[in-house]
Every structure is written in C-alpha cells, then in structure tokens.
Amino acid sequence: MRRADGLALSALLILTVVTGCATQSPSPGSQSTAPPPAATPPPAGSKLAGIREGMTPEQVQKIAGAPASIKPYITGKAFIPWYFGPDRQRTAYYYRGQGRVIFSGEGGLGTDSHVLRVEYDASDPGAPR
C-alpha cells in the first residue's frame, strides 16, 4: 500500500510541475506586444536638454547643476553569481520640475558611470516617488 501511495504522490507532483510550467498564449487584447512609448525629450529651454547618452555625472552637473536628490539602486544583474559586467547598479539624479537622469554603473570593481537615459517630467517633485 505504501508503494502505491508513493507512486500516486510522484505522479501528482510531476503533473503539477508540468502543468505549472506550461505557457499560456495571451488572449487577444489582454497584453500588448508593442514596445513601451519612447520618453518625451526635454524641451529646448530645459536644463536637461543638453544632456546626452554616455555623459559622465560631472558633465551632467556642469550642464544641469546639482540634483535635488540622488538615488542609487541595483539591477537584477547584481544577483547573478560571478557576474562582474556592466549595469549592475544605476543611479538616478532627480531635478525638481525637470525630470530624471539615469546613470548606469560599470559594475565589478569599477566606479565609472554614464548617462543611460534622460526622462523628462515637468511634474517631477525632485525626489523618488
């Protein structure tokens, strides 16, 4: 009797794993496959208008001044064991009424970071939301 219980339990476990790993195709209209809309570029009069991808934090501060607040955070790549490549950490500079400048760090033991993107938002409070 014990062997039959073990076989039934094993079969149930295999069925659960197979069913749980099955992929479902999205129903029409439930999920969009279109890429997210592009960020609005800063207007010509904005402090962030002169900032380009690849600039260093020092170059950004020369153009836009000191940010209202700074928030460093890690990305999912930081959790990959023995990964010392780029983009393990990011830093966001918040400018009140202007938006955000996102920097990507080089990861590993390096401290070099550069502008990844500029997110213009006239309603930005100057701090993380």
Q: Tens digits of per-residue pLDDT, 1-20? A: 566 666 666 766 676 665 55
Q: Tens digits of per-residue pLDDT, 60-87? A: 999 999 999 999 998 888 899 988 888 8
Confidence tier at 37 by pLDDT (50, 70, 90): low
Nearest to 49 by CA among 108, 12, 111, 99: 99
Which CB contacts under 8 angstroms, 24+ apart, belong to 67-74?
A: 67/93, 67/94, 67/95, 67/101, 67/126, 68/94, 68/95, 68/96, 68/126, 68/127, 69/94, 69/126, 69/127, 69/128, 70/94, 71/128
Q: Which positions ≥6 away from 29 have C-beta within 8 Å? A: none
Confidence tier at 32 by pLDDT (50, 70, 90): very low
Give the phi and the psi of residue 69 in degrees, each rounded to 5.
-155, 160
Nearest to 65 by CA among 43, 41, 97: 97
State pTM to two decimals.
0.66
Which domains can be identified in the chain, with CATH numbers? Answer: 38-129 (3.30.1450)
